[in-house]
Amino acid sequence: MTQAPVRTETDILAIAREQVLERGVGLDKEQTVQVLTLADDRLEELLALAHDVRMKWCGPEVEVEGIISLKTGGCPEDCHFCSQSGLFQSPVRAAWLDIPSLVEAAKQTAKTGATEFCIVAAVRGPDERLMAQVAAGVEAIRNEVDIQVACSLGMLTQEQVDQLAAMGVHRYNHNLETAKSHFPNVVTTHSWEERWDTLRMVREAGMEVCCGGILGMGETVEQRAEFALQLAELEPDEVPLNFLNPRPGTPFGDLEVLPAAEALKAVAAFRLALPRTMLRFAGGREITLGDLGAKQGILGGINAVIVGNYLTTLGRPAEADLDLLGELKMPIKALNETL
Ligand code: SF4
């Protein structure tokens, strides 16, 4: 009697269920490509698996964060998606926020239940004036508001990394933006490696690392998978996922918005490649996914959201996101758990 051949599983979702959900081992690049190219009629199944992975390896809580722009516009870099670059004809003009307004924004953010407040500046890297402003702002917030402070100030020197750590900055955001192989098509005024160096120094100084990027910038599906795996290698604490919202006047102003199904597959694929990482919905999701997208994303692997306005475009009102979390019975992560 001949024996029945051993059946080796070839369906990527069955493989992911065993590898990622059961064992917590993220997908490799080939596997991520397979997920990104799944047929649309398997999207629901994929999102359900990504949700199970998130619940098992991250839990039900959702981290809420607010962001504020300390210095807007007039940046000397040429990131082709960015309306804050001073090199393009985009309508964002250079402006600074004062410290009392910064503290007030932190207070309003804390009221929403957010545990993280991120101070952002549109710069290549901070100069002395910006570092002094940030130091004053962080101190004022820490004195008056019960919230963790994060910063996103571009590329840093070792000295600046040490200064931010000494100020008590909890997390530093610096996005790699896209796959290493696609980066030169997106930015020409600095390199992917320069960004990576800042992230390494931030990690070594003991701050949490927040690093993500923008999908839908003309990258191939393989490059999207490459990016997910490069992030997995970095092991950031948080990955903010943005979808390109083409801004008039920027070199990417005429790119097509990523179709919703493709964007949702990407969210799920990043969750399966990064099973334990906080995955945050950041900018561009309204235009890509519409109102329904928040729900599908949060049920498809996302476990952190930004409330209120984004840096240069309007997001949904904070209440809409917070109501949604209530409706989905997903608790907002409390501050004492982040300390
Ligand atoms: S993404 Fe940052 S570094 Fe690039 S142009 Fe915009 S503000 Fe400047």
**DSSP secondary structure letter of residue 332:** B
Chain centre distance of CA 307: 13
pLDDT of residue 125: 95
pLDDT of residue 338: 45
Contact (Cβ atoms closer than 8 angstroms) between residue 208 and residue 182: no
Phi/psi at 63 (5° precision): -90, 135
Contact (Cβ atoms closer than 8 angstroms) between residue 293 and residue 260: yes
pLDDT of residue 333: 80
CA proximity to 69, closest of 115, 117, 141, 18 = 117
Q: From the CB of residue 193, how many other CB atoms can be counted at a distance below 10 Å?
A: 9
Burial state string for 265-274 with b = 16 or more CB within 10 A and e = fewer than 16:
bbbbbbbbbb
CA of 103 to the centre of ligand 1 (A): 24
d(C-alpha 241, C-alpha 215), whole Å: 7
pLDDT of residue 17: 96
Side chain identity, residue 219: E
Side chain identity, residue 85: S
Ligand 1 atom 4, closest CA: 79
Using most ligand atoms within 8 A of CB, pick from 67, 69, 78, 79 the residue to mutate for ligand 1. Answer: 79
Ligand 1 binding site (Cβ under 6 Å of any ligand atom): 75, 77, 79, 82, 84-85, 122, 124, 154
CA of 45 to the centre of ligand 1 (A): 37
d(C-alpha 66, C-alpha 114), whole Å: 7
Please tell me the pTM assigned to this model. 0.90
Closest ligand 1 atom to Cα of 82: 6
Instruction: List the beta strands (DSSP E) in 174-333.
Output: 208-210, 213-215, 238-243, 278-281, 304-306
CA of 96 to the centre of ligand 1 (A): 16
Ligand 1 atom 2, closest CA: 122
pLDDT of residue 284: 67
pLDDT of residue 164: 97
pLDDT of residue 323: 76
Closest ligand 1 atom to Cα of 85: 5
Note down pLDDT in tens along the chain; length 339 residues.
555 555 466 899 999 999 999 999 999 999 999 999 999 999 999 999 999 999 999 998 888 888 888 888 889 999 999 988 988 886 676 778 889 988 988 988 888 888 999 999 999 999 999 999 999 999 999 999 999 999 999 999 999 999 999 999 999 999 999 999 999 999 999 999 999 999 999 999 999 999 999 999 999 999 999 999 999 999 999 999 999 989 889 999 999 999 989 999 999 999 999 999 999 887 666 667 766 566 777 778 888 888 755 444 545 556 666 777 777 777 778 765 444
